[in-house]
């Protein structure tokens, strides 16, 4: 399904409902990096969804000031872009560290393009939240933002991926998640502590979700960027990074995958992007590309 976006409200009438605009002209520039429209899709792999890796970073490649500290980097225009991206994906994925530290809503706040001009309604498509939580340590409850939004019909109930080795999930957590249409999903793990991306993406596909937007946090992003060339790194279809004009300083959570070693034993960059484009959005710059294979 193709989406259009209504123009922004005139200056002097700021929205009060929390909904966001993203200009159609900006949306068009992102199109080569987004999941294909279903009716024209000839590239979907049967074993995995379309994968977009996206995050906001400072000039010193930091995601936050310190572990567990929620840090806002995106300006209003790039924030609207993030929510537009959510409208174009079937699922949105974060690691348990992000769920615990940020209590994210993981919904889409873009204004619906399917209503008369001047009418403000939330976009009808909402991505399915996915939380990677191998050891079931996320203490989700009725006050968790993702649960509250699902209860209000402003988002969907989450899928919580836990390791098959986890003996049980507390009944109260299961009841909260299932009460808003979500569920706990058992996924094969390595020694009960980590998932492989192949297994994660296969499970997402098995859940009927054809695209996923991976937003973080740091360990999730670095693990995707550190996968070996010719191997699991090919699981990432698109990379979209918002770069904010600020430095966060030493001690932050960094996007910094381990350095690779070439055939001559010398260090080489682990990842490089191709088909790169740069798009200013307010004071931020958005980088789009694909991983060089």
Residues 125 and 153 sit within 8 Å (Cβ to Cβ)? no
Whether the CA torsion 246, 250, 253, 259 is positive or negative: it is positive
Residues 92 and 245 sit within 8 Å (Cβ to Cβ)? no
- The β-bridge partners of 212 are 51, 91
- The β-bridge partners of 94 are 131, 216
In terms of pLDDT, which residue wins out, 137 or 115?
137
Confidence of residue 232 (pLDDT cuts 50, 70, 90): low
In terms of pLDDT, which residue wins out, 142 or 37?
142
How many residues appear in the chain?
A: 293
3-class DSSP state of 205: helix
Instruction: Mean pLDDT check: name the lowest of 204-208, 232-236, 264-268.
Output: 232-236
Q: Is the pLDDT of residue 67 over 60?
A: yes
Give the range with max mean pLDDT: 58-72, 216-230, 235-249. 235-249
Q: What is the pLDDT of residue 41?
A: 53
Q: Which helix (H) or strand (E) holds 267?
A: strand 267-268
Radius of gyration of the chain (CA): 19
Q: Is the pLDDT of residue 2 over 90?
A: no
Q: List the CATH code of the domain at 45-251+281-291.
A: 3.40.430.10
Q: What is the pLDDT of residue 13?
A: 38
Q: Is the pLDDT of residue 191 over 90?
A: no
Instruction: Mean pLDDT check: name the lowest of 7-11, 82-86, 187-191, 204-208.
Output: 7-11
The stretch 183-191 carries a mean pLDDT of 91
């Amino acid at each position: 399904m193709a989406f259009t976006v209504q123009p922004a409200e005139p200056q002097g009438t700021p929205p009060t409902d929390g909904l966001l605009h993203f200009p159609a002209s900006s949306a068009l520039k992102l199109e080569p990096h987004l999941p294909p429209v279903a009716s024209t899709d000839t590239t979907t792999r049967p074993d995995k969804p379309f994968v977009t890796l996206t995050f906001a970073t400072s000039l010193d490649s930091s995601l936050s000031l310190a572990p567990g500290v929620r840090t806002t980097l995106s300006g209003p225009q790039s924030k609207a872009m993030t929510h537009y991206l959510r409208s174009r994906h079937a699922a949105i994925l974060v690691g348990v560290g992000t769920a615990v530290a940020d209590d994210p809503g993981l919904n889409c706040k873009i204004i619906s393009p399917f209503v008369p001009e001047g009418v403000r309604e939330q976009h009808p498509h909402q991505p399915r939240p996915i939380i990677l939580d191998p050891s079931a340590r996320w203490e989700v409850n009725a006050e968790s933002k993702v649960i509250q939004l699902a209860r209000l019909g402003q988002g969907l109930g989450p899928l919580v991926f836990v390791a098959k080795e986890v003996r049980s999930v507390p009944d109260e957590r299961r009841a909260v998640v299932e009460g808003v249409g979500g569920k706990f999903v058992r996924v094969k793990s390595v020694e009960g502590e980590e998932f492989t991306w192949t297994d994660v993406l296969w499970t997402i596909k098995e859940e009927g979700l054809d695209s996923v937007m991976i937003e973080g946090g740091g360990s999730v992003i670095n693990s995707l960027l550190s996968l070996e060339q010719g191997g699991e790194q090919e699981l990432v279809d698109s990379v979209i990074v918002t770069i904010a004009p600020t430095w966060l300083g030493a001690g932050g959570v960094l996007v910094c995958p381990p350095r690779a070693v070439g055939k001559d034993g010398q260090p080489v960059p682990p990842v490089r992007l191709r088909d790169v484009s740069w798009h200013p959005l307010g004071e931020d710059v958005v980088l789009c590309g694909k991983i060089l294979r």
